Chain A
Amino acid sequence: MDARYARNIPALTEEEWGVLRQKRVLVVGCGGLGGHLIDQLTRIGIGAIRAVDGDVFEPSNLNRQLLSKVSLLGISKAKTAAEHIHLVNPDIEAQCVEAFMTKDNVQALLADCDAVLDGLDNPESRKLLAAACASSNIPYIYGAISGWVAQAAISMPGDHLMELLYPEETVLGDKSVLSFTPALCAALQTSLCVKLLVGRPVNTGTIYYFDLLNQEFEIIPFNNR
């Protein structure tokens, strides 16, 4: 085993790590959540990452987006993500898609993926992606942040978690995000994704809610009863 992965063991078994090396994931959005997701997936040694974002870095990204730098303002987030993957771990197959996800390209983005990680920033896009995942029978690893709050979950095909969580009338209030909030949320998402992909027990349809201001943590079994 390459020395770069030595500290993965025994937290992961060698067999589990071998399984992870064979997996391909899609990360939609390479901003606050996406930057941390891509870094964590790269370092643990997932097989392949497809990173999608049609945006470029702006000054307002610098407070929280891991991949952003002053020297990269105006540069593609997806392209930067692919370069980060290559610089940190050339073992990973990195594919960047410099485009926004739409209803026209979402199915193509999902091709050959074992899991999808949510780096999005609005309910409409999440519902589109989750529905596409459901129709392709791919697990969707949800994450969302606001201010000091992070929440994450595994949504399995058919659970309609995004529709339950974001009814039509949903209005997002606080649009601030602090530097540590996406880092925590991405860590939750990546850990859920790794457990799922290597076959460890996971709770699906359960929201893990963290309020870092009040130091409150809730495990919410989410269903429509």
Chain B
Amino acid sequence: MIEVRLFAGLRQGRQKIYHMEPDSVKNVQDIMDVLNIQREEVNILLINGFHQKPETAVKDEDIVSLFPAVGGG
């Protein structure tokens, strides 16, 4: 299973953690599509702790973490 962790505002209307079958999604963009998260909403996108792009492929036992855009001051 792929574990998807959502942070801060991305949890609004969603769960904190999702588990997805590796056969059901080929990359992070697919995961965001399933969860109805737009690319521009995501500031930091990690696979197993390292920053990646939405096109990056995912595999079984990956942990995907999505953080919202934070930019105020």
Contacts and interface: CB of A to CB of B under 8 A. Distances in A.
A163 to B, nearest CB: 12
Interface string B43-73: 1101001111000000000000101111111
B43 A170 contact: yes
B51 A121 contact: no
Interface residues of B, number: 21
A32 B73 contact: yes
A174 to B, nearest CB: 5
A146 B7 CA distance: 13
Contacts, number: 93
Interface stretch (A40-48, A97-105, A130-138, A147-155): A147-155
A172 interface: yes
B32 to A, nearest CB: 13
Nearest to A124: B71
A33 B50 contact: no
B29 to A, nearest CB: 13
B40 interface: yes
A152 B67 CA distance: 14
Contact of B46 (A174, A211, A220, A224): A220
B39 interface: yes
Interface of A: 29, 31-34, 118-123, 126, 143-151, 164-166, 169-175, 177, 182, 207, 209, 211, 213-214, 216, 218, 220-225
